[in-house]
């Protein structure tokens, strides 16, 4: 049975084909769909994760590219992981919204202690997260590949710590980078453990590559992955050069900080208009209403970060950011 939160029609063309990942089922670390390649030489452990949400195929395309190009580290370790596999394997391009998750959002389960709460409902996502957690706990650098509901420029989500912004700059994708704490409904995987600890050398980025099924999201996912791995220093110098030499990224890296998270309070939340994401609004502009409460743009330049189509109580409606540059 489809979760009612996912039962809405798709209004966008499906331009990319979700790859067949069945060849990657037998992982080499005792977990299906997780592969770790160890160079045997000292260096960081880099993890590239895809399909945290089952209806976001661009990450699967990036991992498929790595597998097919026999990506192997010259030092350290490289792990490639398909995360919410059950949701992804149910993906249907005729109804692509419905396979975002099976029971709940995999990317809200990573707060301290949550995965140890065995009194909690044993959902597909909860059980899978518990299985992959030991591997993730060993990771030094995580790139979590995502995409967005609506057409929007690619965005890099760097977390709340300065180290995330520094990492985003060093990767060099020149896309707008968002400093934010995620969602009130639950912690993201990119914020798990040491990734969000300012005292830890561990670090993570979450990349939003564009609209879920837009053809343009695929090259963004692949290029970001190549740059992330090369930046970690675990690959040969010529790794991915054929992709990087043909890339045409004319964005400039600008930084924005989320200062307010609009969490839906009532069953009568409505946006004033169909915001697309990364809209720039003047202070005081009406963004929408939560029943009778107006939601106003709080900053001189207020930037809307990923307004949702899933308008349910407790969900994030939109995050409100302001420019730092």
- Could you read off the pLDDT of 82-124 as tens digits, one per residue? 999 999 999 999 999 999 999 999 999 999 999 999 999 999 9
* pLDDT of amino acid 252: 75
User: H or E stretch including 280?
Assistant: strand 280-282
User: H or E stretch including 79?
Assistant: strand 77-82
Q: Over the stretch 234-284, which tens digit does the pLDDT of each residue have?
A: 999 999 999 997 776 666 789 999 999 999 999 999 999 999 999 999 999
CA-to-CA distance for 93 and 10, rounded, in angstroms? 9
Strands 176-179 and 155-157, bridge-based pairing: parallel
57-68 vs 217-231: helix crossing angle, rounded to 10: 50
Domain annotation for the chain: domains and CATH numbers: 4-244 (3.40.630.10), 257-323 (2.40.50.630)
CA-to-CA distance for 42 and 289, rounded, in angstroms? 54
Beta bridge partners of 281: 302
Backbone angles phi, psi at 241, to 5 degrees: -65, -30
With H, G, I as helix, E, B as strand and everything else as coil, classify residue 49: strand
Burial class of residue 235 in the structure, from the number of CB atoms within 10 Å of its CB (0-12 exposed, 13-18 middle, 19+ buried): buried
Q: What is the pLDDT along the chain (325 residues), one digit of tens a residue?
A: 478 889 888 999 999 999 999 999 999 999 999 999 999 999 999 999 999 999 999 999 999 999 999 999 999 999 999 999 999 999 999 999 999 999 999 999 999 999 999 999 999 999 999 999 999 999 999 999 999 999 999 999 999 999 999 999 999 998 999 999 989 899 999 999 999 999 999 999 999 999 999 999 999 999 999 999 999 999 999 999 999 977 766 667 899 999 999 999 999 999 999 999 999 999 999 999 999 999 999 999 999 999 999 999 999 999 999 999 7
């Amino acid at each position: 049975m489809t979760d009612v939160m996912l039962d809405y029609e798709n209004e966008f063309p499906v331009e990319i084909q979700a790859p067949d990942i069945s060849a990657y089922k037998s992982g080499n670390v005792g977990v299906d769909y997780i592969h770790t390649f160890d160079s045997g030489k000292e260096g960081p452990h880099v993890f590239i994760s895809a399909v945290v949400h089952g209806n976001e195929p661009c990450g699967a395309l990036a991992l498929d590219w790595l597998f097919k190009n026999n990506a192997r580290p010259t030092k350290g370790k490289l792990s490639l992981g398909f995360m919410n596999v059950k949701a992804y394997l149910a993906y249907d391009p005729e109804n692509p919204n419905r396979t975002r998750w099976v029971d709940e959002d995999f990317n809200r389960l990573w707060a301290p202690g949550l995965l140890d709460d065995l009194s909690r409902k044993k959902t597909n996502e909860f059980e899978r997260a518990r299985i992959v957690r030991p591997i993730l706990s060993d990771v030094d650098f995580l790139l979590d590949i995502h995409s967005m509901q609506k057409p929007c420029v690619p965005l890099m989500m760097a977390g709340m710590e300065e180290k995330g912004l520094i990492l985003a700059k060093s990767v060099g994708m020149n896309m707008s980078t968002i400093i934010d704490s995620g969602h009130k409904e639950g912690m993201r995987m990119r914020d798990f453990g040491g990734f969000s600890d300012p005292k830890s050398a561990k670090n993570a980025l979450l990349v939003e590559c564009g609209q879920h099924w837009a053809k343009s999201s695929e090259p963004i996912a692949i290029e970001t992955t190549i740059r992330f791995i090369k930046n970690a220093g675990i690959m040969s110098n010529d790794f991915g050069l054929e992709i990087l030499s043909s890339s045409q990224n004319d964005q400039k890296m600008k930084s924005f900080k989320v200062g307010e998270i609009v969490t839906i309070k009532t069953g009568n939340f409505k946006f004033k208009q169909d915001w697309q994401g990364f809209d720039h609004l003047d202070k005081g502009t009406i963004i929408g209403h939560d029943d009778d409460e107006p939601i106003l743009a709080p900053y001189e330049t207020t930037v809307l970060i990923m307004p949702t189509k899933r308008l349910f109580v407790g969900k994030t409606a939109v995050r409100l950011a302001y420019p730092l540059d």
